[in-house]
Chains A and B, each alone.
Chain A
Amino acid sequence: MEQYSIQGRIGEGAHGIVFKAKHIETGETVALKKVALRRLEDGIPNQALREIKALQEIEDNQYVVKLKDVFPHGTGFVLVFDFMLSDLSEVIRNHQRPLTPAQVKGYMMMLLKGVAFLHRNNIMHRVSALLTHTWYRAPELLYGARKYDEGVDLWAVGCIFGELLNSSPLFPGENDIEQLCCVLRVLGTPTRDSWPEIAELPDYNKITFKENPAIPLEEIVPDTPPQAIDLLYRFLVYPSRQRCSAKQALLHPYFFTPPLPAHHSELPIPHRGGHPPRQRHQAPPTDFSLDMPLQKSVVDPLLLQPHASCL
Chain B
Amino acid sequence: TGDLRVVSNLRASEESSWVTPSSPGRVPTDIRKLLTEWMFKVCEEQLCEKEVFPLAVHYLDCYLSRCSIERSHLQCLAAVCMFLASKMRELVPLTASKLSIYTDCSVSAPSILRWEVKVVSRLGWCLASVVPSDFLEPILHALPFVQAPFLQIIRHHV
Contacts and interface: CB of A to CB of B under 8 A. Distances in A.
Interface in A1-57: 37, 41-44, 46, 49-50, 52-53, 56
A75 interface: yes
A46 B125 CA distance: 12
Interface residues of B, number: 20
Contacts of B118: 72
Interface string B72-90: 0000000000011001100
A288 interface: no
Q: Output the residue of A37, A43, A46, A77 with the most chain B CB within 10 A.
A: A43
Interface in B96-129: 96-97, 112-114, 116-118, 120-121, 125-128
A257 to B, nearest CB: 41
Contact of A41 (B87, B96, B116): B96
A76 interface: yes
Contact of B88 (A42, A49, A70, A77): A49
Contacts, number: 49
A95 to B, nearest CB: 40
Contacts of B126: 53
Interface residues of A, number: 17
A71 interface: yes
A52 B116 CA distance: 15
B93 interface: yes
B95 interface: yes
Contacts of A71: 121
A52 B120 CA distance: 11
B128 A53 contact: yes
6 contacts: A43-B96, A46-B88, A49-B84, A49-B125, A52-B125, A70-B125
Given A41-B95, A43-B96, A43-B116, 11 more contacts: A37-B113, A43-B83, A46-B87, A46-B88, A50-B128, A53-B126, A70-B125, A71-B121, A75-B114, A77-B117, A77-B120
